[in-house]
């Protein structure tokens, strides 16, 4: 039996061929080493993300999350829900909180769920992957399997918004959370201090207001470079995509020469645990992390 078991909620972006599929590959490699068993919630659905607020309204959004709660409770009783995506985690936790605080919303939700043949009695805990790593295992346990420390490499730990606010990782400050820096150090890397650690990448507005979002992304990358980072590391699929894929557009617009790889913490951990470039899904990065590819080949 695995050391820990969870009801896994991968979310839309992590599926095969989707924008964060490299996140999922590296998480699976990392969890194999750490002996964490994740069982996918059968037939899970999209959380609606933050951006659907205007079209969805309130109850339909909660009902979408509630369907996942009901499916988890029914099929994987007693297991916490584990999300890798920051927005899935936030959306699901928000719905859990609202439903638990309002008998009216809970009753309406169950009435709607009945249409899909489901109902909720107890909503499972909703956890983010980094929460599970830090709270259920702890930095010492995460350090034990390190075979190849990422010595001499400098990373900017880009926490961003949604794993940090409004819920955050227990015990961390909103203004200067240090968990990601500690994860970088746990696998032997150097976490550079820089001032845009919790700046918003623009989120979904990278689509609808590209100029404003790209101005924010520029600030984040510039600060990472200015403080000596060689790579950026993040726990959020949208942060990863936004900060990585618009570097070309930003260069055109601002005359910058950005070309900095943006990785997931799970990719660093997989490599430090002795995993291959393939297991860490380094081929999934649009801006290739050459230094890490060489490191993995050693």
Partner 1 sequence: MSDMNQQMAARYKNNFLKEVEAQVEMGEWVKMCMQCGVCAGSCPTNFHPGWEHPPQEIFMMIRAGKREEVLTSPSMWMCTSCYNCYVRCPRKLPITHIMHGLAEYAYQLGVAPKFQPTQHLSKTFWDNCTKTGRVNEVKLTQTLYFRDGLMAGIKQGLAMKDVALGLVKAKRLNLMEALGFGHKCKDIKGIHAMLAKARELEAKRKGRQPA
Among the listed residues 4, 32, 148, 165, the single contact to partner 1 using CB under 8 A:
165
- CB-wise, 53 or 254, nearer to partner 1? 53
What is the full DSSP assignment across 105-169?
HHHHHHHHHHTTT---SSPPPEEEHHHIIIIII-HHHHHTT-SS--TT-EEEE---STTTSSS-S
Contact status, residue 183 vs residue 269, Cβ threshold 8 Å: yes
Site size with partner 1, rule: CB under 8 A: 69
Three-state SS across 56-103?
HCCHHHHHHHHHHHHHHHHHCCCCCEEECCHHHHHHHHHHHHHHHHCH
Does position 263 interact with partner 1 (CB under 8 A)? The reply is: no
Asked if residue 286 binds partner 1 (CB under 8 A), the reply is yes
The whole-angstrom separation of Cα 246 and Cα 205 is: 13
| Closer to partner 1 by Cβ: residue 9 or 273 | 9
Among positions 121-160, residues that touch partner 1 (CB under 8 A) are: none
Binding-residue pattern over the window 91 to 120 for partner 1, x denoting contact by CB under 8 A: -------------x---xx-xxxxxxxx--
Residue 57 is a binding residue for partner 1 (CB under 8 A): yes
What tokens appear for 157 in the block? Answer: 């730990």
Residue 1 or 104: which CB sits closer to partner 1? Answer: 104
Sites for partner 1 among residues 62-81 (CB under 8 A): 62-64, 67
Residue 273, token pair as written in the block: 């645990």
* Separation of first and last alpha carbons in the chain: 33
Decide if 127 contacts 50 (C-beta within 8 A): no
18 is a contact residue toward partner 1 (CB under 8 A):
yes
Contacts to partner 1 by CB under 8 A: 12-13, 15-22, 43-46, 48-60, 62-64, 67, 104, 108-109, 111-118, 161-162, 165-166, 174, 198-200, 202-205, 207-209, 212-213, 215-216, 245-246, 248-249, 283-286
């Amino acid at each position: 039996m695995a050391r820990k078991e969870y009801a896994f909620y991968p979310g839309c972006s992590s599926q095969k061929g989707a924008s964060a599929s490299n996140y999922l590959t590296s998480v699976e490699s990392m969890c194999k080493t750490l002996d964490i068993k994740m069982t996918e919630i059968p037939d899970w659905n999209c959380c609606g993300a933050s951006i659907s607020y205007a079209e969805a309204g309130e109850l339909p959004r909660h009902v979408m999350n509630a369907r996942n709660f009901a499916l988890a409770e029914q099929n994987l009783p007693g297991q916490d829900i584990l999300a890798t995506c920051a927005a899935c985690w936030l959306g699901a936790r928000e719905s859990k909180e609202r439903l638990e605080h309002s008998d009216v919303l809970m009753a309406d939700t169950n009435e709607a769920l009945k249409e899909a043949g489901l109902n909720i009695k107890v909503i499972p805990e909703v956890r983010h992957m980094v929460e599970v790593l830090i709270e259920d295992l702890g930095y010492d346990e995460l350090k034990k399997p390190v075979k190849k420390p990422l010595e001499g490499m400098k990373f900017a730990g880009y926490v961003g918004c949604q794993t940090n606010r409004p819920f955050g990782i227990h015990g961390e400050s909103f203004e200067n959370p240090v968990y990601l820096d500690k994860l970088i150090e746990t696998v032997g890397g150097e976490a550079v201090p820089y001032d845009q650690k919790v700046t918003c990448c623009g989120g979904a507005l990278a689509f609808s207001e590209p100029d404003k979002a790209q101005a924010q992304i520029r600030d984040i990358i510039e600060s990472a470079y200015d403080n000596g980072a060689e790579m950026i590391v993040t726990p959020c699929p949208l942060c990863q995509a936004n900060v990585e894929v618009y570097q070309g557009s930003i260069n055109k617009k601002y005359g910058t020469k950005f070309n900095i790889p943006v990785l997931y913490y799970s990719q660093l951990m997989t490599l430090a645990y002795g995993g291959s470039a393939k297991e860490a899904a380094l081929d999934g990065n649009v801006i290739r992390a050459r230094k890490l590819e060489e490191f993995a080949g050693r």
